[in-house]
Amino acid sequence: MRVNALSIDLEFWWCNEFLTDYLPCDREDGFRESLRPVFAVLDAFDVRATFFVLGAVAEQYPEVVSEIHRSGHEIACHAYSHRLLYTMNRDEFEDELKKSLELLADYNPIGFRAPSFSLNNRTKWAIDLLDKHGFKYDSSIFPVKNRLYGVPGAPVGIYRPSRDDISIHDPDGPIVEFPLSVLPFGMNIPISGGFYLRALPERFLAWSIGRVVTRRPANIYVHPHDIYPGPPPLKVPFISRLITYHGVRTSLEKLIMLVTRFSFMPMGALLDRMALLPRDELISAAPAIPREVVGRDNPAILPLSMSELLQQPIDAAARQYAGRGRKPISERGDSR
């Protein structure tokens, strides 16, 4: 069965550029509560993932990050404040990296994801800084273009971005890039998670990801607030409301479908398995990153305890997918 990468961007619900101008001064946190659905799914189906942890989250909730690590997941870096890279200069970004790495020092993170995928050719200087601070892989490039992010023309499979043009593969590039999954279909259709998990019909999502994994490992991501309807709806313009809230109440079932139909493991472990990382490199979270594919389809197996994080059972949606099979594993990707 081909194994794929699953990641969670661990951030606060208000770290959303479509809400920035409308946030109340006094807002509810709800952070722990927002984690329960995603942890219930991962635990019930014995799936391990990569958590791209915002430094501000690690600062405020160090015990949560520690519990994630102890439960077998990879800890990676999501910068500190969720500022977009193109709103910072090199020095400001390096300060964010240093602060985050200090907060995550116990986990030796080797992976990075830019807030809102804001790594592009305007911010290509970030590649050298990631290399300088010991990162071995990145997962920030979306081979599409919208008003917030995207690198159109970038490879759709794993590659090494050139320092001069990150849309070009350079075999001597310092960082391995695992771009977010798209379906090439005349144009690149984004399918990899987040808003696309919430917005795309479940059958199309399953079909399109199935098409991708016949060629290369898929890279799927989710935010806790993508599947947790708890944050209070704000009065925002229609487009912002659509992008922020659409499909939240049906996305849990889609996530369950994905983890039962496809096999996943943490990104660092997958890249290491594919021999794309230096062999002498310490993979973060030592016993946390499994060397074997994990995941089970039987929701009758009781979830493992996750202290205070897991207090909510999987609902009947899980039972709907109990018999789904998995795809063949292949350790080879491509860059086309």
Q: List the domains of the chain with CATH numbers.
A: 3-321 (3.20.20.370)
List, for residues 85-140, the tens digit of each pLDDT value: 989 999 999 999 999 999 999 999 999 999 989 999 999 999 999 999 999 999 99
The answer on pLDDT for 281 being more than 60 is no
Is there a contact between 290 and 48 (Cβ–Cβ < 8 Å)? Answer: yes
Question: Average pLDDT over the chain, rounded to whole?
Answer: 80
Residue for token digits 């998990």? Answer: 197
List, for residues 91-106, the tens digit of each pLDDT value: 999 999 999 999 999 9
Quickly count: other Cβ atoms within 10 Å of residue 151's Cβ: 23
Three-class DSSP category at 10: strand
Residue for token digits 């911010």? Answer: 123
Query: Which of 125-129, 179-183, 267-271, 321-325 has the lowest average pLDDT?
Result: 321-325
The answer on pLDDT for 336 being more than 80 is no
Residue for token digits 């144009």? Answer: 187
The answer on pLDDT for 166 being more than 90 is yes
The answer on pLDDT for 302 being more than 50 is no
Distance between CA atoms of residues 257 and 96, nearest Å: 36
Tokens of 304: 């493992």
Q: How sure is the predictor about 279, in pLDDT bands with cuts at 50, 70 and 90?
A: low
The answer on pLDDT for 82 being more than 70 is yes
pLDDT of residue 244: 65
Q: Buried b vs exposed e over 284-298: b needs ≥16 C-beta within 10 Å? A: bbeebbbeebbbebe
For 191, what's the count of Cα atoms within 13 Å in the CB-facing half-sphere? 24
Distance between CA atoms of residues 17 and 236, nearest Å: 12
List, for residues 187-201, the tens digit of each pLDDT value: 899 998 888 898 899
Q: How sure is the predictor about 295, in pLDDT bands with cuts at 50, 70 and 90?
A: very low
Tokens of 262: 């496809």
Average of pLDDT values for 48-52?
A: 96
Q: How sure is the predictor about 171, in pLDDT bands with cuts at 50, 70 and 90?
A: very high
Q: How sure is the predictor about 226, in pLDDT bands with cuts at 50, 70 and 90?
A: confident
Tokens of 224: 């806790």
Average of pLDDT values for 20-30?
A: 65
Distance between CA atoms of residues 98 and 100, nearest Å: 5
Average of pLDDT values for 38-65?
A: 92
The answer on pLDDT for 48 being more than 70 is yes
pLDDT of residue 23: 59
Q: Higher-confidence residue: 114 or 281?
A: 114
